[in-house]
Chains A and B, each alone.
Chain A
Amino acid sequence: MKDKRILVKGVEAIAFGALEGGCNCYFGYPITPQNEIPELMSVELPKRGGVFLQAESETSAINMVLGASAVGARVMTSSSSPGISLMSEGFSYLIALELPCVIVNVMRGGPGLGGIEASQGDYFQAVKAPGHGDGKFLVFAPYSCDEAYELTAKAFELADKYRNPVMILSDAILGQMKEPLTLKPLKIKRIKKDDWILNGAKDRPARVIKSLFLDSAELAERNRKLKKKYQMMEKEIRYEKIFEGNEDIIVVSFGSMARLCKEAVLNLREKGYPVGFFRPITLYPFPRFTLFKLAEASQRKKRFMVFELNCGQMVEDVASSICGRGDTYSVFYPPSILPFPEDIEKEIKKCLKYSNSPKV
């Protein structure tokens, strides 16, 4: 049978991905620009025997997620930047309690209520510290409808595998633009949770899910265990690169910005400019080692241009990854002012001009 191809918005692709990934519970709260996810879920989930519930606030939505996850459901929520901030207490507890779930952040401009234009301003929040304490999420940043569909479905499996929340970091452009999506069946593994979920305690000792450890040795042990888990997650690192080894400039970007950059880079390469492209798909764990290898690939010192829709966040991760083996440049666009690919080409050419490399 041929795969079904439909025209959908990015957020709908995420919702279809969740259904493919076996999501059976959705809890959410309205916020622009992700309202199509709860809308679609409110229609689709009851048909499949799942549960759709609209909470009375983001705080309660994330705690419903926590509850559903504790009894073993495949559960998700979605929100946008201000709502994600309100959920962050829940995030910390989800990480501490090692409860799997999928969280979608369709980023919009900030700080504060900001606007509803696209932004990548929540990079640090998603990657460095989703909540208080030492916790981390596994963070995926799709850049097309097809990728959003696949990654969201895969996110459910990985959340269960690592018993950790997985975040899909999208933004208003990716979320609201329409694009064809191929609804292909994916192989998403079901992972048994019988050994840890809360259910009846008949004929066996009762289980406890908690995050309070007043004994310091016990708490330290707990954090070490979590850290080990984050290191294991490095197996899931994904990225895309256009690189042959002798490029002078490597453009690094993720999400919607990567789409613009990729076009600019391909145009320049066609004209013979020595420009490469690197797009991390997992933002945490960050593909550090791969970037380091790119920097080391040839004797010539490389320039890493990091394009972002914020005031320069991922550039710090790129700089620390390449350990001084190249130069890092931050080209940033604050939320709501989007460049054209030609603008990006201009920026890259400007950077090339001051380079020592022979001009083409």
Chain B
Amino acid sequence: MRPEWAKFKPVNIKELPKEDWIAPGHRGCQGCGTVLPIKLALKVLGPNTIAVSSTGCMEIITSPFPFTSWRIPWIHVAFENAATVASGIEAALKALKRKGKISKKENINVVVFAGDGATYDIGLQFLSGALERGHRLIYFCLDNEAYMNTGVQRSGGTPIFAHTTTSPAGKVIHGKVGWKKNLDGIVIAHSIPYFATANPIFFADFMNKVKKASLVDGPSFFHVYSTCPTGWGAKSEDTVKLCKLATETRIFPLFEVIDGRYYILNRKIDKPKPVEEYLKIQRRFRHLKPEEIELFQNRINEEYERIVKLCEVFAPPKGE
């Protein structure tokens, strides 16, 4: 499919480095499901990586002055502009290489770790620009479905009916009004070389995807499922259970899109669990009535079937 992947070998878990490039001892909540993907991604990318964080939980918990959890170069600017700052870094690296200030063989990865607020809402314009210009960067949207850092406010990524502090569930209005924004569709429409959804609990799948992205010459985008026990009102020991359920109930299907054209389904869920199992262990959904759960279920089924169909119709050409 992509010429860069001609010599692609899957990640060998046994050969992964023992070092973590994000240090333990950060201030994440108990059961935080958002640090996990950063740790896994950096294991694949290695220390020759410049990370750009947008404002959010992952920035706050890893960098309370005078401490830092980052063992790789790291920069944080404002809330909205991580993609743009990364664009500047990547463009400058290119120029420095051209002028011989940095060795041309040096492979420096530029990655962005941004939350759903920074990606779905305030940073969408900047993300779109970076994707359209085609910078060689890997953008991780760590989607925990609300502004958790400021105290759980709704974002464009919050699912329908979810209770947040600015979409409170009352008698008349039942939590968030409207469906979760289809960010995947927006990003895929930019026809970027590589798009993937990822769930850190399927770590081999996730790390292989990161490796693929690091080889691609152009922008890659990851939509990463990230649990937030604090904001979702779930038990902290349920993080793994939630991650598994998200994919097994078809709420968060795993798929890749190459060049915005070829769809690959990574995990086919033939016998999905009912979404109720996923919803009932989170307090943000506790006010849901049976008919609302049914509405939710129908929407999830439709979305999943749409993606399966896309993967059938737009499968990559055989023999490649």
Contact = CB atoms under 8 A, between A and B. Distances in A.
Interface stretch (A24-32, A63-71, A125-133, A297-305): A24-32
A31 B165 CA distance: 13
Contact of B150 (A32, A42, A113): A32
B191 interface: no
A42 B167 contact: yes
Interface string B123-167: 010000000000000000000000101110110100000000111
B153 A54 contact: yes
A39 interface: yes
B313 interface: no
B230 to A, nearest CB: 15
Contacts of A86: 80
Contacts of B153: 30, 35, 38-39, 54
Interface in A45-69: 46, 52, 54, 56-58
B146 to A, nearest CB: 9
B124 to A, nearest CB: 7
Of A35, A43, A54, A58, most B-chain CB atoms within 10 Å: A54
Nearest to B150: A30
What band does the interface of chain A fall in when counting residues whose beta carbon is under 8 Å from B? 10 to 19
Nearest to A52: B166
Nearest to A83: B79
Given A30-B153, A43-B168, A82 B147 contact: no
Interface of B is mostly: loop
A121 B55 CA distance: 21
> Which 7 A/B pairs are nearest by Cβ-Cβ distance?
A56-B121, A57-B122, A30-B150, A30-B153, A42-B166, A30-B147, A39-B165
Given A43-B168, A113-B78, A35 B151 contact: yes
Contacts of A58: 122
Given A30-B147, A30-B153, A57-B121, A38 B55 contact: no
A174 B36 CA distance: 37
A140 B120 CA distance: 35
Given A30-B147, A39-B168, A54-B154, 17 more contacts: A30-B117, A30-B150, A30-B151, A31-B150, A32-B149, A35-B153, A35-B165, A38-B153, A38-B166, A39-B153, A39-B165, A42-B166, A43-B168, A46-B173, A52-B166, A56-B120, A86-B80
Nearest to A58: B122
B168 A35 contact: no
Interface string B155-189: 01000000001111010110000000000000000
